[in-house]
Chain A
C-alpha cells in the first residue's frame, strides 16, 4: 500500500482546514495569497468545497427521489434522451449551415448578405467564447454538484 496515499500532505491538511474554516486569520490570509498563484492548490480547495457541498446533502434520499432516479436511469429513458438531443442538435446545426449557404447563394447584393451573416457569425463567436470560459471555470464551481 502506498504510504503517501494514507497520509495527507501538509498542503492537503491546510486545504482541509481552510475549507472547514479552522484556520486562524493569519494562516487563512497566507493561504489565500498562495491560492492566487498556485492553480493546483486552488483545484484542491475546489475539490474539497465540492465534497463539503455534497456532505450537506448526505441525508438519505426520499423514496420519491429513488424512484425518480430509477426511471431516469432506465435504458429506454437514456436511449430516448440521447436520440432526441442528437436529432435536435444535428437539425439545428444543419439549419444554421443551410441558412448561411442559402444567404450566400441568394440573389442579394454583398452588403445585404454581409448584414444578414454578420450577426449570425457574431453570435456564434460570442457563444463559443462564453462556452470556452464556462468550460475553464467549471472546475472551480463547486455548486454544480448541488442537487436540490
Chain B
C-alpha cells in the first residue's frame, strides 16, 4: 500500500479511483503523563508525553485509513492529509484522509 501526499505518483498510473478514505482517533494520556507534562510546562522543553500521544494517534489514524482503502480493494492512497484538533485537554485527535486508488506500475 503506497500512501502519498502528492496527487500524481511518478512511475505509476491511476487506473481506478475508489474515493475518499479516512481514519480518525482520539487518544488520551494517563493522569501520570499529564502531571509530568505539567511539570515540563514549568521548566520548559519538549513535552515528551504529548509527543508520544500525538504519534500514537497519528499511527492509529493512518492504519485505520489504510485498512479502509484495503477493504475497498485499493493499493494506494494519494493526496493524503493530516489534520488535528483538540476535543479534550490532554487528548490528541488526529484525522487523516486521502483518495484510495488502484495504481499500476508503468
- How many positions in chain B have a CB within 8 Å of any CB in the partner chain? 15
Which one of B32, B55, B56, B60 has the greatest number of beta carbons of chain A within 10 Å?
A: B56
Report the separation of the CA atoms of residues A13 and B45 in the bound assembly, to the nearest whole angstrom. Answer: 44
Residue B104 CB within 8 A of the other chain: no
Quick one: given A148-B51, A148-B55, are A143 and B27 in contact (CB under 8 Å)? yes
Instruction: Tell whether, in the assembled complex, residue A146 and residue B59 are in contact, meaning their CB atoms are under 8 Å apart.
Output: yes
Contacts of B1 in A (CB 8 A): 21
Interface size on A, residues (CB 8 A): 12
**A53 contact set on B, CB distance < 8 A:** 59
Report B45-69 residues with CB < 8 Å from chain A CB. 48, 51-52, 55-60
Query: Residues of A at under 8 Å CB distance from B?
Result: 21, 25, 53, 56, 68, 85, 88, 143-144, 146-148
A147-B59 in contact (CB<8A): no
From residue B26, how far is it (CB to closest CB) to chain A in Å? 12
The interface residues of chain B lying within 8 Å CB-to-CB of A146 are 52, 55-56, 58-59
